[in-house]
């Protein structure tokens, strides 16, 4: 199959969508991009007006509108959050895409390894992504012209580090290490998502009806802290370091969610990353697709230094 050049992207105003859109625009493949936007949305899309970008606004609950927009398109890329209403919208988009013969659907995964039951058990919120992908598989089975690829990339290294999500605060020089801080997990920069998605759409036969696994770093909290020490030219004695358990972090996550505080989801994801034996270092058992999409392993200190300079 030749490259899938006509692409509809949903969610282009978000962090993930922006990264994907920038990568598509930077690719030598020459994508023709349609941004599907909810009518009345006040979200700003920086690339609106680009020669290769068309913006279509309308009622995303209107199946006829969705089918009309998707007719003649090669691929649908969904970059929404994993909230139930977003996943419900994704299912409607997938149904419409299959009905008009869109060749490839890339759903809104872009995160932890939801193919790992241990990870889903620790982070039950991931079950929504699992169920959404099952729906895609069922639709594709009935409409074989349409195929799917879901991306597993781990947490976004640059994005999470800038927001202290790894428990490491470079600005205030504080660190919370969970268990012993040595559990490894795979992670990818959010800015690399565009290269990953454009790579999949450029060689689509390599990725038909499967998960794509990518990773720029396989690191532990201690590895990140060491990189931060180099980036900030400090020593551990210059930092305030606290030790907690992943069990405490998971408990905190559920307590926050019970109170309607959805930052608890980040605690649950962190407990899955930092707990030994769960397999968040999926590169140890999966063959990575980095080479197929042109993604190289990163330099942890360089990327960490760049993040520190921006915060």
- Strand arrangement of the beta sheet that strand 240-244 belongs to: 168-169, 174-178, 240-244
pLDDT at 311: 80
Distance CA 40, CA 183 (A): 45
Cα of 115 vs its chain's centroid, Å: 14
pLDDT at 41: 83
Kindly report the pTM of this predicted structure. 0.93
Burial 81-117 (b: 16+ CB within 10 A, else e): ebeeebbebbbebbbbbbbbebbbbbbbbbbbbbbbe
pLDDT at 263: 87
**Tokens linked to 37:** 């936007």
Distance CA 148, CA 205 (A): 11
pLDDT at 255: 94
SS3 294: coil
Q: Under a CB-based contact definition with an 8 Å cutoff, are residues 33 and 135 in contact? A: no
Q: Where are the beta strands (DSSP E) in 192-304?
A: 210-213, 217-219, 240-244
Distance CA 38, CA 2 (A): 31
Half-sphere exposure of 56 (CA within 13 A, CB side): 16
Only one residue has tokens 């559990």, namely 183
pLDDT at 43: 80
Rg over alpha carbons for the chain, rounded to the nearest Å, is 20
CATH 3.40.50.720 is the classification of domain 6-154+189-213: yes
- Delimit the domains of the chain by residue range: 6-154+189-213, 157-187+217-285+293-310
pLDDT at 51: 85
What are the average pLDDT values for consecutive 10-residue runs of the chain, which has 311 residues?
93 94 95 93 82 92 96 97 92 97 96 95 94 96 97 96 93 94 97 96 97 97 97 95 95 93 91 94 96 94 94 80
């Amino acid at each position: 199959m030749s490259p899938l050049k006509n692409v509809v992207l949903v969610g282009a105003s978000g962090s993930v969508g922006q990264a994907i859109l920038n990568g598509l625009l930077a690719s030598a493949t020459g994508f023709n991009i349609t941004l599907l936007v909810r009518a009345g949305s006040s979200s700003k899309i920086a690339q609106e007006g680009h020669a290769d970008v068309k913006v279509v606004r309308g009622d995303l609950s209107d199946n006829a509108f969705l089918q009309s927009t998707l007719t003649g398109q090669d691929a649908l890329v969904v970059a929404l959050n994993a909230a139930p209403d977003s996943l419900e919208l994704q299912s409607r988009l997938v149904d419409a895409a299959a009905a008009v013969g869109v060749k490839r659907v890339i759903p809104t995964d872009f995160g932890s390894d939801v193919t790992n039951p241990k990870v889903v058990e620790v982070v039950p919120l991931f079950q929504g992504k699992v169920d959404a992908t099952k729906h895609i598989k069922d639709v594709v089975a009935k409409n074989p012209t349409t195929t799917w690829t879901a991306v597993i990339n781990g947490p976004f290294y640059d994005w999470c580090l800038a927001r202290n999500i790894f428990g490491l605060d470079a600005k205030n020089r504080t660190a919370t290490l969970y268990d012993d801080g040595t559990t490894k997990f795979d992670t990818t920069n959010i800015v690399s998502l565009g290269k990953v998605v454009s790579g999949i759409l450029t060689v689509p036969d390599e990725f038909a009806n499967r998960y794509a696994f990518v990773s720029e770093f396989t690191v532990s909290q201690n590895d990140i802290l060491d990189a931060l020490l180099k980036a900030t030219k400090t020593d551990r004695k210059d930092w305030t370091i606290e030790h907690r358990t992943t069990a405490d972090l998971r408990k905190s996550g559920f307590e926050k969610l019970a109170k309607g505080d959805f930052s608890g989801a980040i605690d649950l994801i962190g407990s899955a990353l930092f707990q030994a034996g769960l397999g968040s270092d999926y590169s140890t058992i999966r063959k990575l697709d980095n080479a197929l999409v042109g993604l190289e392993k990163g330099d942890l200190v360089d990327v960490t230094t760049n993040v520190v300079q921006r915060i």
